[in-house]
Amino acid sequence: MARRKRLDRHSTGVRRGGRRSRRGGALFPAAVLATALLLLIPVLAGRGRTVPDGEAQARVQAALPQGLDPARRSLVEAACSLVGRVDYFWGGKSEALGWDSRWGLTALVTAEGGQDTGKRLPFGLDCSGYVSWAAVNAVGDPAAGAAIGSGARGQWRRCRPVDAAEARPGDLAFFPDLSHVGIVAGREADGTLLVLHCSRTLGGVVLSPDGVSLGFTRFGAPDFYLIYGSVLP
């Protein structure tokens, strides 16, 4: 009996050891899987939520109706010119006519209240800064940034609310809590709204194919057009 007990104890030790080995061996594939998921998250986040950068210009041009006010067309085209070219930067603003030489250069995020505050990142635009830059470049006037408003909430205050069904290219699109703003770029054949916006989650300036499903549910016609309507650069 004593010999059998010793064998049982030995056998148990082998089985426990085997279990420990199997658990330890499972750590490697689990770590690989976790790393792969981290790499895939940005890709999966953007899939179906953005139009490929190389297709954005053509999609927007196809969605712009004939007879659109020239200032509206110019604003959409200016905004579309930055798709895939400018990063999101919390607090990023620009009144540059054309390309801003600071874009892409590493800068400290000094604006308070953002997830990136205090970090050093490639300089770019935030969502409302993108809208302001597009307005400035639509009419070739740095003062146009003030006309369209500063910050998403400020830009909403300078809009006349419109229903999604009435939204036209050049109108502004907002998240319901006014935490994000973009520009209506047009309406596709199935009625969905294309929205241009500068998104932290999606990596910068993008064209989203269905703005409403992404969260843009408030729309406004900017007072900006009362000042600059039918004005070209």
Percentage of residues of the chain with pLDDT beyond 90: 77
Residue 15 covered by a domain:
yes
Q: Is the pLDDT of residue 13 over 90?
A: no
Q: Establish if 40 belongs to a structural domain.
A: yes
Q: Tokens representing 86?
A: 């400018």
**Cα torsion angle, 196, 131, 71, 85, sign:** negative
User: Which pLDDT score, from 0 to 100, does residue 158 have?
Assistant: 98
Domain boundary among 13, 28, 47: 47
Q: Are residues 83 and 138 in the same domain?
A: yes
Residue 82 sits in the same domain as residue 162: yes
Q: How many CB atoms lie within 10 A of CB 45?
A: 14
Lowest-pLDDT range, 15-19, 67-71, 160-164, 168-172? 15-19
Does pTM top 0.85 for this prediction?
no
66: in domain = yes
Instruction: Tell whether the torsion through CA atoms of 233, 136, 80 and 191 is positive or negative.
Output: negative
What mean pLDDT is predicted for residues 111-137?
A: 98
- For residue range 141-180, list pLDDT tens digits in order: 999 999 999 999 999 999 999 999 999 999 999 999 999 9
97 is a domain residue:
yes
**Entry field: residues in the chain:** 233
Residue 229, pLDDT score = 81
Residues 3, 56 share a domain: no
Which pLDDT band holds residue 40 (cuts at 50, 70, 90)? very low
Q: Is the pLDDT of residue 232 over 70?
A: no
- What CATH number did the domain enclosing 86 receive? 3.90.1720.10
Q: Contact 198/126 with Cβ under 8 angstroms?
A: yes
16 plus 93 within the same structural domain: no
What total number of domains does the chain contain? Answer: 2
140 with 155, same domain?
yes
Q: How confident is the model at residue 63 (pLDDT cuts 50, 70, 90)?
A: very high
Q: Is residue 233 part of a domain?
A: no
Flag whether 152 is in a domain: yes
Amino acid at 177: D
Query: Does residue 25 sit in the same domain as residue 115?
Result: no
What does the pLDDT read at residue 47? 42
Q: What percent of the chain has pLDDT over 70?
A: 78
Residue 213 lies in a domain: yes
Query: Does 36 share its domain with 100?
Result: no
Please provide residue 174's backbone torsions phi and psi, each rounded to the nearest 5 degrees: -130, 150
Both 76 and 177 in one domain: the answer is yes
Instruction: Kindly tell me if the per-residue pLDDT of 42 is higher than 90.
Output: no
Q: Are 138 and 233 in contact (CB under 8 A)?
A: yes
Shared domain for 193 and 154, answered yes or no, is yes
Average pLDDT over residues 136-140: 97
Please report which confidence band the pLDDT of residue 34 belongs to, taking 50, 70 and 90 as the band edges: low
Residue 29 lies in a domain: yes
Section 53-71 average pLDDT: 96
- Please state, in angstroms and rounded to a whole number, the distance separating the CA atoms of residues 69 and 144: 17
What digits encode the pLDDT tens for the residues 189-228? 999 999 999 999 999 999 999 999 999 999 999 999 999 9
| Same-domain status, 56 and 18 | no
Q: What's residue 14's pLDDT?
A: 40
Q: Give the domain-ending residue among 25, 47, 69.
A: 47
> Are the C-beta atoms of residues 219 and 62 closer than 8 Å to each other?
no
Q: Which domain holds residue 145?
A: 50-228
119 and 11 in a common domain: no
Q: Are residues 59 and 39 in the same domain?
A: no
